[in-house]
Amino acid sequence: MIDRLRSSIAASPWPLTIVALLALQLGPLPLKAAALLTLVFIAWIVPAVLLCLVPATAPFALIPVALTASAAIPIHEFVLVVACIGWGITTIQNRSLDITFRRSDIWIALLVGAAAVSILWALPEGRGEALRTLRWVIIEPIIWLFLMRSSMQRERVILTTLVHSLVVSAGVVAALGILQYLGIDLVPWLGSKRVFADNVVATGNIRRVASVYGHANNLGLFLERILPLALLCTLWPVVRIRARWLWVGVIAVGIVVSFSRGAWLATLVTGAVIAVYHYGADTIRRRPWIIGAILSAGIAGIALTLVTRGASAGSFDARILLWQEALRWIQLRPWGLGLGQFYFYHNPEYGHSIIAPVLVGTSEQYAAHPHNLLLDAWLNLGPVGVLAIGALIVSTVRRALQQQSPLAPVVLAIVLGTVVHGMVDQFFFVTDLALFFWVVVFLGQVDTGHSTRL
């Protein structure tokens, strides 16, 4: 009986997994406990499923699983713990860790060291935030990376499972945002969102949607990272997914209704990179309409920006002031402020601020990051952390390109697109973006054994 049940779950684990996740998120406490035990059982039989669901459930971090009236835990942490249990059981059964270390892991160790040291100079009022950031952004994602590496040694299908999980997750998040834009908000049915902002915000003559996030920009930041993977599912048979063009379309429309200009630009960059790799330089020379299509998309994006959000700099003026403030803090504290400390130094309510007076009383008074990946990394981790993150990005892209894998252009496209957007927004120091950073590192290290183009 048990063997038959195991075979049934191993053959089709997803229906039971989805039901268990919904019960964990929405059910009463006894049902949550039953769902948790079910997930442990699934993690024992099919460990790859729970591991791949960790980054896929990270977008729902602001809608945590409520345990009591005051206690709640993000669902991706539940999934990570269960995935660790499943990995541990499998490791004991196989009597092998299957963890390999690479030369680039020195940069991971350096990153962890910089993060640990940065806790020492966190403000007393920001110590709790520093520890949470260390857990959510540094420790847990790195644990996930090493477990994924180990599982990749055991079963190659984990790559397909990971890509499909992320694409479906992004499709659901995008669909919720599209429905919000149409006036149908289903997000409150998922639980209580721990954020003060509205799900739909009118900005000028447009309505921006946040989906499961606290801000529309965060929606764009997530979807722009997954769209290249959705395109990969249409181009590479190894990871092909059902209704593949539907997923691409829904995610793309989700980026549009976020009205994040940075996400639009990042999407244009990633699309151009993948198009060049897919068609090849020779094909593009023979078919110049491909370049024309890319340029037309860029012009259309600029026109859409002007029509919807106007020709003014908008929040860009505030970001320049934030950059100037961040540079001043780097001069005053060259080793950084500490993990998650920018808000406590920036907001004048805490008595440490050198904020530009014009920002006081606006929403920018409560900014938790300086809207620039380099400045953000320096203030959080100091110059050593900046070096480690930069080296990891370079080594990931280099390894992906050296392998001539179909994943290579996707890794390159995601890195270029997110770096471009990260110059004016977030890049790493929130849960879903941190996890996806390590997803890209993992994808760059995967040896697919294929040398063909997309």
Residue 192 DSSP label: -
Of the listed ranges 19-23, 99-103, 151-155, 264-268, the least confidently predicted one is 151-155
- For tokens 């035990």, the residue is 37
Residue 312 has pLDDT above 80, yes or no: no
Helix 407-422 / helix 431-445 crossing angle, nearest 10 deg: 150
What pLDDT is recorded for position 296?
63
Handedness of CA 63, 65, 66, 71 (dihedral sign): negative
Residue 298 has pLDDT above 70, yes or no: no
Of the listed ranges 122-126, 143-147, 361-365, 421-425, the least confidently predicted one is 361-365
What pLDDT is recorded for position 157?
60
Total Cβ atoms within 10 A of residue 67: 11
> How many alpha carbons fall within 13 Å on the CB side of residue 306?
7
Q: Where are the domains of the chain?
A: 1-97, 104-155+312-454
The residues pairing with 208 across neighbouring beta strands, listed in sequence order, are: 201
Q: How confident is the model at residue 452 (pLDDT cuts 50, 70, 90)?
A: very low
Of the listed ranges 177-186, 283-292, 392-401, the least confidently predicted one is 283-292
Whole-angstrom distance, CA of residue 339 vs CA of residue 342: 8
Q: Render 87-144 in DSSP notation, one character per residue.
A: HHHHHHHHT-------TTHHHHHHHHHHHHHHGGG--GGGHHHHHHHIIIIIIHHHHH
Query: Which tens digit of pLDDT belongs to each residue from 17-46?
Result: 999 999 999 888 889 999 998 898 888 888
Residue 287 has pLDDT above 60, yes or no: no
Residue 278 has pLDDT above 80, yes or no: no
Element (H, E) at 341: none
